[in-house]
Amino acid sequence: MKTIVAIAVTLSLLSVSAVAQTADERRACMGDAFRVCSDAIPDRDRVAACMIKNKSQLGAPCRAVIARYRTEAIKAAQDARHTIKAETAHAEAN
C-alpha cells in the first residue's frame, strides 16, 4: 500500500514538475503550450499532462525541458521505493 501511495505522489509530481519552472524553460515551452495545449490553459496540471501526451508535437527545446524533469521524477520515484522498502524491512524486523 505504501508503495502505491509513493508512486502516485511521484507521478503527480511528475506532471507538476514537467511544467517549465525557470524563465528559460518557460520561454522554451510557452509557444508550444499555446499551440498544442491551449484548451488546457490555465490549469497547469492539465497543460503538463497535455504536453507530455503530445511531446512529439513540441519543439526540441521544450522536449529537452520535459525530458530533464521526467528523468528527475523517475529518480525520485526510485529513491522513494528504496526508502519505503528499507522502512518496511526495518518495521518488520522490529
**Using 50, 70 and 90 to split pLDDT, how confident is the model at 57?**
very high
Q: 57 and 68 in contact (C-beta within 8 Å)?
A: no
Q: Residue 32: is it exposed, middle or buried by C-beta count within 10 angstroms (0-12/13-18/19+)?
A: buried
Nearest to 62 by CA among 17, 26, 20, 29: 29
pLDDT higher than 90, residue 56: yes
Residue range 7-18: mean pLDDT, rounded: 49
What does the pLDDT average to over 32-40? Answer: 94
Residue 12 in this model has a pLDDT that exceeds 60: no
Q: What's the pLDDT at 18?
A: 47
pTM more than 0.75: no
SS3 75: helix
